[in-house]
Structure 1
Amino acid sequence: MLSRHSYKKSRLLHNKFKKRDFLIKKFKNPYFLKDRMPRRTRAPRLKLALGVLSLLGIVIIFLIHPYFLINKIEIDGAQTISEEFVKNLAEKVMSKKRFLFFNGHNIFLVDLNKIKEEIKNKIVLENLDVNSKSQRSLQIKISEKSPKLILQSNLINASSTIANFFSLDSEGKIITEANKSDNLTLPVIIFEKNPPNFSLNNQIISQATIEFIYFLNKNIDKVNNVNISHFLVDGINERVINVQTDEGWKIILDRQNDWQKQVQVLNLLLQEKIKKERKSIKYIDVRYENRSYYQ
């Protein structure tokens, strides 16, 4: 039998361990509450999804809304080139879809590099700038190359000869198609033999030949009222230049011989030997230093 003292001691120990077990059973770690985990993770994911969808919606509005479509093209710097022609080139690019779906006129999607490329493929320019900084407007700034010569290309068909004209720059490259009537003060050249390929930006004549033609155009006009119609060039051998006069006869010159001396010889021949029979001759050859020919 237990004494009263032993019994009390046993009860105290029992109650102590029972309370300790009760505390252990009731203790819960909040980090492992399964029923609360979804509540803590769903809200951020939902907010992120809503944010992405909202941003995507705003972007789509900017890309498809008609308000953001270019409705005006401004051309600055055009002198001899048709503004309408340049606008049509830009419209050709913008009329195509961007990324298979979006409108090519969209201010944010317009392909500026493609527009530049299209213009450069059709026109040779000194400078070209294309931008869409202003709202709903496309600005195209061009700086034209100054034409130095007019090339006349004679196309012969079954019934007639069709003359096409091109502008050449100081390097002898074709700038664009031209009208002879628009450049009456510029020298005209025709390839009498071996014509090259008349394509845009193709150099068809050397700079040395251009300088020689300019010298002749300036100085021969002063010799006894000789009016130049055009210059005849050989596409392979540019050394010899034939000058066609309005009277129908030619002057044959050599680019690699003394320019000034050849003009002086021509002057003497016209003044002293063939002054009265100019209209009946076929040519005057002044290429050689100590002798000249005419027929």
Structure 2
Amino acid sequence: MDLRTYQRQKSKDALKRKAIIAFSVVFFLWLMIWGSFWLPWLRISQISSDDFVSKGEIESAVSPYMASLNSFFLPNNNFFLLRTSELENILKEKGAGIAEVKKLFPQTLDIKFPQTEPWLIFCLSSEALAKESGQCFYVSKGGVLEDYAPQFSEKPLPEIMAGGQNGKLGDGVISAEEAAFLRVVFKNLKILDIYPSEVSFKKDEVKVLMKEDWYLLIPKNMFADKIFADLKLLMEQKIKEDRAKLEYIDMRYENKAFYKLK
């Protein structure tokens, strides 16, 4: 072997050694990082919660996820890898409720179920299905199904009538825009000492059934305050003492109002 060939071979061997060393260092560092996710003191082991849902029910719902591995074969209950949004979805899907989940370093989950004042009631559209499964819900002011409601013989809140057979906690039964519109409607009705018992949305209109057993038809694409200013005038100047005889008032057309007495 001549000197040139020897030098070339020596350079190749040195390069191979460097490559092996570099690979070993990288692999060792990767192994250390991968292994650090398994450290017991960085894995969630405690759950704190309010008394709205029992701790046993919470643990039963989240345990399968907490004990599972992600696509990199790392524990989902590692503090840095755990996704609180995933647990919130799991609790909602399991029927525990709408939760807010936070991580408290290094090993604790804090789970709260915020309570808001119920605004509407929603029941599944099929009466037979609703009676069989008891699927009625309280609806928040944002139009979201926030909690289960019992079957009432006389509902204490207005019922929102919406299409579809399915409903689960966290679903929006009406859009945020419809909910905002309806809040203005209710506010104006209260000013007139009128109280709704049932509401239904159609494509371009809203039907509001009153506890006095008459209904109001209004458009969705007009300012509610303007509609109710006109309604107030109609009540004071036209209907007057005949309010108890009302069958319906139709205010779907701009600058026009129709009503019928029983």
SS in 2 for 1:210: helix
Q: Judge conservation of contact 2:44–2:79 (CA < 8 Å) in 1.
A: no
SS in 2 for 1:261: helix
Where does residue 122 of structure 1 map in the other structure? 91
Give matches, 1:158-237, under 5 Å: 164-168=136-140, 170=142, 172=143, 174-179=144-149, 188-191=159-162, 194-195=163-164, 197-223=166-192, 225-234=193-202, 237=203
118 and 163 in structure 1: CA distance in 2 versus 1, 3 angstrom threshold: closer
Name the CA distance, whole Å, in 1 between partners of 2:110 and 2:260: 55
| Deviates most, 124-133 or 258-267 | 124-133
292 and 108 in structure 1: CA distance in 2 versus 1, 3 angstrom threshold: closer
> Following TM superposition, by how much is the alpha carbon of 1:214 offset from its aligned partner in structure 2, in angstroms?
0.5
Structure showing greater radius of gyration is 1
> Following TM superposition, by how much is the alpha carbon of 1:250 offset from its aligned partner in structure 2, in angstroms?
0.8
158 and 220 in structure 1: CA distance in 2 versus 1, 3 angstrom threshold: closer
Any gaps of 5 or more consecutive residues in structure 1?
Answer: 1-58
Quick one: which of 233, 246, 258 aligns to 1:292?
Answer: 258
Where does residue 212 of structure 2 map in the other structure? 247
**Identity, % of aligned positions:** 17
Paired letter, 2:146 = T
Name the CA distance, whole Å, in 2 between partners of 1:221 and 1:169: 16
Where does residue 247 of structure 2 map in the other structure? 282
**Superposition RMSD in Å:** 4.4
Q: Judge conservation of contact 1:128–1:141 (CA < 8 Å) in 2.
A: yes
Q: Judge conservation of contact 2:79–2:103 (CA < 8 Å) in 1.
A: no
141 and 274 in structure 1: CA distance in 2 versus 1, 3 angstrom threshold: same
Query: Which TM-score applies when normalising by structure 2?
Result: 0.59
Q: Alignment length, in residue pairs?
A: 210
Query: Which TM-score applies when normalising by structure 1?
Result: 0.53
Q: Judge conservation of contact 2:216–2:251 (CA < 8 Å) in 1.
A: yes
246 and 144 in structure 1: CA distance in 2 versus 1, 3 angstrom threshold: same
**Residue 150 in structure 1 maps to residue 124 in structure 2:** no
Paired letter, 1:139 = L
86 and 294 in structure 1: CA distance in 2 versus 1, 3 angstrom threshold: farther
